[in-house]
Structure 1
Amino acid sequence: AIKSTPIDVLLSTFGETLELSCYSARVEPEEKNLNVNLKLPTALTKVVPSKVIENALDEGIRRGQSLNYARYLGDLPGNFLTPQVLANYAEERLSNLGQITINTEKELTAQGFGGILAVAQGSKNRPRLVTFDSEPKKPQKTIVVIGKGITFDTGGYSIKGKQHHNEMKYDMCGAANTIAALEILAQQLPQIRLIGILPLAENMVSESAQRPGDVYRAHNGKLIEVYNTDAEGRLILADALSYAGSFKPDLIIDVATLTGGTTAIANNLAGVMCTNDDSLIPLVRTAGREAGEKFVHLEIIEEAIDDLKSDVADYTNLHNKWSAGAPTMYAAAFLKEFVPAETAWIHLDIANMAWNGRNTTHLRGRGANAFGAKTIVNIVKAYCG
């Protein structure tokens, strides 16, 4: 396989791997832990032009730096990384590649982002919505990438158990990985209009937090009954999916640490993907495989939406009491209702893959691993190819 791999691909992978191997999961890592300086090996320059080597290594190193940045954001504790701070990090990383807009709570209220506001109402750290637009002059296609950004998830009043609760700082890895993917893509595909949407909130318990049974109006006007406050990710993603329609995209991709049910489907071996267009299934599988990130396809059974109908609203955010299983499919079925009409959509649930535990032997070590970012890059490249 190595013999048939182009030298520039090998060198790019080499640069990325070196960058990833130098990462340190400290809260405030020193600059040397995030960047690698390479000298060109003399023997290689005699076989391959030095410019080819430099370009390939540089591409790999920059890709590794983007992935490491996503890992760094994922590893930050919740008291460091509030919605506003994460919005600032996104602006810092992407503002030189396009236009960044950060909407505050007042603006979210005026624009009808009821899901984001409902999830965030129990926290003193107010929600934000980040929108990135690469703004090419004559775009060939428009692609929207949405990343779930719950900066800490207590579960709300449907509170989580104490086991691994500290790991709920990782519930914003979808947003972090989206930042990485957008940074890589914006540099490589200047002819594609890239839209990034990051709904950011903190799901806390307080006297002002949403309650099970509450009803709110989503961005698309639908009424949602909150069966379970720990099924909050789909509420902010639903608003983001509806909002994505304003850009008239050719394709929407969302990535999220959405459901623990992914572990029952694929353990820690693969993420789970759903789509409203079966022709995209092989594209995602190939994109993941080439990224070293496997995804298995989960079909959304058409009748699943019937179990999400509410007696007092349009939908519930969790399947009703007569349907005990399939949490990953029901979450995707809920989201599908908010995808703009006649728009291709890919949903990547990485809840079982977004961070590595204590005993990992993974190259990227313990903690956040940026899983899915490279797959998104490959999906967009293949789709726009």
Structure 2
Amino acid sequence: MREKFRSSLGLLCFIYVLLFIGIVYKLLQIGLLGKNSLITQGFEKINFESYIGIGSTLFFIIFYSIIFYIVKSNIDEIITYEDDNISNKIYRKLIVYKVLVVLSVTLGICITVASNDIDILFTSIFLIINSILTHYTKKGYLKSYMYNKQLQSYEDVYKPKKKLGSIYYSLFMCIAIMITIVKKIYIQDINEYKDATYIQNENHEEYINNPDNEYEDTIYTESENYEEYINDPEIVLSGQEILDLYQSTQKDTLGYKIMDPNEYYVESTFNTFEHYEGMIDKQIVDEKKYGQILYPYTYDSYEDNISLQKEVVMYLISLVLPSDAIEERVLTNKGYGQECRVYSSSEGTFVVRMQKAQYFKGTQPYYHENEIVDLKYLKLIE
């Protein structure tokens, strides 16, 4: 009978590991584990990302409910009797799992207080529930083979298909519900991505079949328009026009000219890059100055009124930075909702400054990790 518990126990252990890794990833994002630690370098090397948090609540409620129902149904089938020897053995074997619950609760409270992050709070709750369910499932596993051995042998011989079929069916339903929830969560992001991104194939078909169109006049090519825009920052492009510009750019032709060296940015102790105005000496990391570049490719949250998924932004960045650009470090300021990525290349040192979308939970503001509303490019003034 213990075979019935193995699949649930294995699945819970796997989810526990994923939740723990998700918490570590979140702590790295908000800077609590340091910027240059081995763990940070490891996550960056494999481009690891985790989306577990408050948005996963519905999924985990359904998932844990199904697991609890399966385990409880199996435990109810076990016939127990008074035997102090068996009870003591089960208690001793469960000590490790009791410790796991205590450690999960302690860890969850400590990191939630330290981070003050809503996603870490919910991930910690999932971790605690997972540890409790793991203890409950392991207890059923131990009972299943330490009690009623004769009855167990009878069931294994005469009723294996019916019992195992029930478990497989429940697991199948669990997986089906998980897939459905994932689709509900991500389908909107996918649609927004399609709406916001320039779909080259469709436009190509439209214009290639219409030789009288003015398409070439509306694309802001680097050779014809870049100098015009870089010398006239008053020109404001729409979101689609900026995307068109990205798509039509040949990065080898970019000169990365600094717009105004006197209007520079500096690296601050707030773990971001700020305009020099209003900064005091103790807030500035060093004497390096960074000027704004690539003005036509800039998204301004106050003017463009557009948001992009982070994966789209990373793709756009790759279209304009030098081909040999290497990411050196990432600065994250949780309070400002800003992320700055520093790149080195043969063309110089670049900084990409991103602003995340702000929302409110009641009166408490928070920033969406994967929604970018502001994008600026800086270059070290040498």
Whether TM exceeds 0.5 here: the answer is no
Q: TM-score, with normalisation over the residues of structure 2?
A: 0.21
Structure ID, larger Rg: 2
Highest RCO, 1 vs 2 (Cα 8 Å, sep ≥ 6): 1
Higher helix content, 1 or 2:
2
